[in-house]
Amino acid sequence: MSSPKRSQTQKMRLSLSTRKVPLEVPSPTEKDWPTDDDGDYVFMDLDQGLDSLPQPYRMINKLVNLLFDRSWEIIEGRNALREAESSRIQPTIYPPVGEIQLTKRPNCMAISQDFLFIGGAKGFSIYNIYSAKLIYVWDKLKVDVISICATDLGTEILIALVDEMGIIRLLYFCKDGLFVSKAINEVDDASKQITCMKMEISQGGDFAAFLLQGAGEVWLDVYKLPKETWLKEVEHSQLTSNSKKKVKQLDTNICFKGDIKLSLPVHIMKIKPPKPITGTTFKSPLEVFAKIEDCYGLGSGQNHFIKESQWEQQAEIFNASYKKYLDGAWEEEPISMATFHFLLPSCVTAMPAEVKNPSGVPCVLGVHWTGSHNFFLYSLNRNLKDKVDPEGVWPCAAPIAVSQLSCSSSYLVLACEDGVLTLWDLAEGFPLGVIALPEGCFCQSIHFLKYFLVHKGQNMYPEDPVRSQMKCVVLCTDASLHLVEANRTQGPTIQALVERPVKHLDEAICAVAPVPALPGMVLIFSKNGAVCLMDVAKHEVICAFAPPTSFHLEVPWKPVFIVSSQPPCFLLRDDRPHKTGSTDDAEIQNSIFYFNFEDYPLLENISKNCTIPQSDLDNMAFPQALPLEIRCERFLQKSFQQLENNQVKEQEHWARLQRYSLFLQRENSKK
């Protein structure tokens, strides 16, 4: 077998001549060379001996050479990667400032007010977010909690849980007491169990929506939550309860009152996926328009005048045109999923005059289904007996893949499967524009940023809220990251923050999270376990965060984390559980790392001084952040000032002409 060194340095076979007679140094001139016959030389190939080997030794030789060649390529690649890493400027890496140790693996987290809720084995735990001290443990379930949501209701907190069986439970955390409502979708017969696939609670806790699956069907249930009734029931129970009945206290006043059942949420609507569009049953166009009542459902495509034969003909033409692309095994159609958002009253989602909706309470539910071109709007002012028809339909040119609503419910982004984004200003009632992602990029997730400005090289939040101006980051399926900006006076723009990784695939982005406490900053989680903080205005990484020990990552890594604005921090689950002892029966130790931005020198001043006064905005340094009325007023003032200046210049010009005319008259009179 040939050596690996020769297989790398000599890719071509070299022919050497071997002489039968003794070797000697030839004379310097060609005339003195001996004229021997060609038979004195035998041309031999160094690999001739290997080629003459019998099988299977020739195959073994080729496999070994191939193995050595590939190993050498891997070694060279690692050396190049090591050199690139050594030449790259590494950001400052900050360790966590705290650690919450758990005996069971946490599955999810939520933050509300001063409390951290950690869902895990048979229930959830409550911690103080500032001191990381355990306050209470609720472990009344037989299975683990896989999703948890905590909604701030003012002085109370609404906790929504989903366990491994897909059962939803609502708990009411009020005045150091934990109350439970009956499970939403629990049934006695396990074979008829209905599973929750997704849940959403409106800001303020007035409504809740749950995407359910059961018996081969998928639908969306919408509930109105009786907050006022719950508060009265809790106050009444606290007046009549005996303090001796408190159970399971951990040096706190929190107690679970399972004997008190709160009122059930009110079921107001059941929404099913839109039916597939089929041939029409109408005989005339007049019947189509007669079917549409008060323009409800207009634009959904359900009421049309296309016959079944036309659909079949169109399908035949399509299959014939793209036969070579359609041949092969068909993939099973995925389950229809829904994405839904609670929308506040606005110019787009206006309520009837007779309906009085309190401020800050949603009035419309926006829904789009997998593979659907339409974004449906359903009024929340209804009951279960009312007919479920959408009050509005926003059709798109391609199926909607991703949608995202801003925290203020003022902006909505619809991302279609063709990579086109539609930006809506819901508060003002008009689209901010349409923009396409770069070729080959398709949206995976959208994350809104609180609008910020760059003042003296630092990102700052305007003191007063701005209108018709938004910024968001878009994570694409190819792990590229883009910044999208739009305002009322200019079209939307897009900038690449992170390009698609080509060589280092382990650096691909798997998750992104904005940091409200740091203007213009986002956390970037990579597949290799790296967590970086990026400044989207400068397109550069500020610093990185890492636990004290290296990660043992799952493939693919799905980080479990949560970001808090107050206190300014984020928490990250340690995906490297370890044993607390040397024996076989030692417990597995799980941790949640606590990173506080104010404890790091580079970020301390940013989080504490992140607001720019309105007086600095009024000096026209940032005209885009001013209200539209002030900007129009200043534009008119500037126009009038320019007009006055032009009039003054014109008067001066006429005065010069008059003086010149008088000068000419005097000269003529002298002559």
pLDDT, tens digit (0-9, with 9 covering 90-100), for 108-145:
999 999 999 999 999 999 999 998 899 999 998 999 99
166 burial type by CB count under 10 A (0-12 exposed, 13-18 middle, 19+ buried): buried
**Predicted local distance difference test score (pLDDT) of residue 467:** 85
| Gap between the Cα atoms of 83 and 288, Å rounded | 69
Q: What does pTM read for this prediction?
A: 0.75
| Gap between the Cα atoms of 328 and 320, Å rounded | 14
**Predicted local distance difference test score (pLDDT) of residue 245:** 46
Cβ distance 234 to 172 under 8 Å? yes
Q: How many C-beta neighbours within 10 Å does residue 477 have? A: 14
| Gap between the Cα atoms of 123 and 24, Å rounded | 92
Q: Is 457 strand, coil or helix?
A: coil
| Residue of 420, 412, 403 lying closest to 494 (CA atoms) | 420
Give the pair of three-digit tokens for residue 482: 């883009």
Over residues 206-219, the pLDDT tens digits come to 999 999 998 889 99
Cβ distance 226 to 266 under 8 Å? yes
Cβ distance 519 to 459 under 8 Å? yes
**Predicted local distance difference test score (pLDDT) of residue 443:** 96
Which parts of the chain register pLDDT below 50?
1-21, 38-39, 41, 43, 243-251, 620-621
291 burial type by CB count under 10 A (0-12 exposed, 13-18 middle, 19+ buried): exposed
First to last CA, the chain: 118
| Residue of 138, 158, 141, 146 lying closest to 120 (CA atoms) | 146
**Within 13 A of 81's CA, how many CA atoms are on the CB side?**
12
Residue carrying the six token digits 């106050």? 235
Q: Which amino acid is at 32?
A: D
Cβ distance 312 to 306 under 8 Å? no
Over residues 271-291, the pLDDT tens digits come to 999 887 766 766 666 766 666
